[in-house]
Amino acid sequence: MKKLLTIFAISSMLVLSACNTVKGAGRDVESAGDCVDGVKGNC
């Protein structure tokens, strides 16, 4: 039972960290898009 809880905890941490990584990548892409649009002051 203890081993199962450990596996569940580790899996949960990996899933949560992956969500944060994808969210950060989305912000980076959005920021790059703002720079490319040519509007002064967006970079």
Q: Is the pTM for the entire model greater than 0.75?
A: no
What is the C-alpha separation between 18 and 14, in angstroms, rounded?
A: 6
What is the C-alpha separation between 22 and 36, in angstroms, rounded?
A: 21
In total, the chain counts a number of residues equal to 43
What is the C-alpha separation between 19 and 36, in angstroms, rounded?
A: 26
Asked if the model's pLDDT at residue 4 lies above 80, the reply is yes
DSSP codes of every residue in 1-43:
-HHHHHHHHHHHHHHHHHHHHHHHHHHHHHHHHHHHT--TT--
Asked if the model's pLDDT at residue 43 lies above 80, the reply is no
pLDDT at 42: 64
pLDDT in tens, 7-21: 888 888 777 777 777
pLDDT in tens, 16-39: 777 777 777 788 888 777 777 776
pLDDT at 3: 87
